[in-house]
Amino acid sequence: MARGLADVLHYFIPEVPPPKREDAEAPAPYGVPVLGVPLRDGDVVRAALLWNLAIELARLGPQATIVAPAVDDATSLWPDPGQGPLGTELVLTFAEDLAELASAVTDVAATRREESVEPGLVLVRLPPGWLGKGATVQPFLRRVLLFASPDRRDLVEAYCLAKRCFAFGAECVGVTIHGARSVTEAEQAFLRLARTSERHLGRPLTSYGLLVDDLHVYRSIVNRRPIGLTHPHSPAARALQDVARLVFADVRGGALG
């Protein structure tokens, strides 16, 4: 009988040394809820999911801002920088590593605090390759959102990212499963990933819901229009609303920054 994902996953993942103690204790909170979201280069689908999630978070009340490095694939991943629907905002920065990205997030958070009593939520797009040798712990890694599909290779990648984020000081890693053919398939994918994390890392994963219907996601990529505004009654829009509620409740319920 073939072994399960949890039995073999750790063989594919290199060990990540724990951060130095002084790095883990140095960063101060931003004073604004911040969520790190690792997205690999060229990942148009998950960038669209993140942008649509920001729209749904803004619908719940707080201003949602995405901070992302202005790397080569920025124009294909995101809409035009600046203010978007429902007060959402995309800020592109010329950061080239974690430290520079943290500085950009600090500036955005300070601006949000000055502009409103309700500072909203900052979502930080993180290139996974920056979580490598020589990188330092940053506050936006305290809470992390991962997008993953039920595909076995995708679950391996999600586990790798969770492992690295925990090594760099994450207190909470949440997962949204997307691209599943059914709710059952999505639930099973999350459980496999969560059990593997518990077994090999000794750390729990938080479920941030699931997105079964990706058809409108692809349409939103082509049309560059938010799903919740163009197809508000679609399964994708309702699922995104559920994910936004879970993220909002978890992030706002935890420590700021």
**Rounded to the nearest 5°, which phi and psi values hold at 37?**
-130, 100
> Which residues, at least 6 apart from 247, have a Cβ–Cβ distance to it below 8 Å?
35, 53, 57, 145, 174, 208
With CA atoms as reference, report the closest residue to 130 among 96, 170, 92, 107: 96
143 beta partners: 172
Query: Cα–chain-centroid distance for residue 26?
Result: 23
Residues 86-136: tens digit of each pLDDT: 889 999 999 999 989 999 999 998 888 777 666 688 999 999 999 876 677
Superfamily of domain 31-252: P-loop containing nucleotide triphosphate hydrolases (3.40.50.300)
List, as one string, the DSSP characters of 95-117.
--SHHHHHHHHHHHHHHHHHH-S
pLDDT value for 61: 77
**pLDDT digit string, tens, across residues 144-166:** 999 999 999 999 999 999 999 99
pLDDT digits (tens, 9 = 90+) for 181-195: 889 999 999 999 999
Residue ranges of domains in the chain? 31-252
Assign 29 a pLDDT band (cuts: 50, 70, 90): low
